[in-house]
Copies of this chain bind each other. A is one copy, B any other.
Amino acid sequence: MTEDAASAPSAPADRIVTAAMLVIGDEILSGRTKDKNIGFVADRLTEIGIDLREVRIVPDDEAMIVEAVRALSARFDHVFTSGGIGPTHDDITADAIAVAFGVGIDHDPRAVEILKARLAGRAEINEARLRMARIPFGATLIETDNGMPGFTIGNVHVMAGVPAVLQSMMTVVCRTLEGGRRMLSETIDAHLGEGLIATPLGALQKAHPATVIGSYPYERDGRYATNVVVRARDAAILAAAVADVEAMLAEVRSRYP
């Protein structure tokens, strides 16, 4: 079954668009909170034809955030961050992003209006809540129906860490992005352990250099089995490799029934 998302936006023919993700937060590194955002961002980027090439998780530490943002934004087309944009003293992402880009940061009038509308009649605007309206100069807002906005500056998209809010922001950001040529993929259950298919599979990878063939072992009923995943950007190239993998698997199974 071809697994690409039929609903993704149309993509330029040949360009490969790359991305990195930067997860920010002490709580992920201490194990206290288990990340739920990496898998979501990975799925959405794959759907729209952007290759997620690296993920980093760093603590609430300005120097480490700045270093990671600079390294990743220089290297990839897009950087998606999660975490650290709330109202408390340990929410330092917006300030660190401003440092990374060498720009100022202050209460953004657009974000202050959103805050006012959100709190109207329910709670007071105080210094802490205003902190959430601090946006680096030159950024555009990522506005959702779900609370305060994130922002995009340069090629860096800054989003919340709470999964429901991140998901809203990611949906908004993805609408603005142009994907590259989507990676198509097909998964074949080998019904065989990796040890029996690894050598012929390696030969098939060499024979189909425009594909990426991955092998993912799993255990079922105490036996090792394998999912073979073939990926390519061209449907005909993908189909040819898949046909060869299936023929190889049928041959091996006939010898190890």
Contact = CB atoms under 8 A, between A and B. Distances in A.
7 contacts: A29-B54, A31-B45, A53-B64, A88-B198, A89-B213, A128-B198, A164-B219
Contacts of A215: 86, 88-91
User: How many subunits of this chain does the assembly comprise?
Assistant: 2
A28 B42 CA distance: 8
Q: Which of A131, A164, A183, A194 has the most CB of B within 10 A?
A: A194
B53 A56 contact: no
Contact of A46 (B31, B86, B123): B31
A85 to B, nearest CB: 11
Given A27-B216, A43-B31, A89-B202, A38 B52 contact: no
A39 interface: yes
A81 interface: no
Contact of A195 (B128, B212, B218): B128
A165 B123 CA distance: 51
Contacts of A176: none
| Interface class of chain A by DSSP | mixed
A87 interface: yes
Interface in A42-67: 42-46, 51-60, 64
A58 B54 contact: yes
Nearest to A226: B88
Interface of A: 23, 26-35, 38-39, 42-46, 51-60, 64, 86-91, 123, 126-129, 131, 162, 164, 183, 185, 187, 193-199, 201-202, 205, 212-219, 229, 231
B39 A38 contact: no
Nearest to A47: B31
Contact of A131 (B42, B45, B198): B198
B59 A56 contact: no
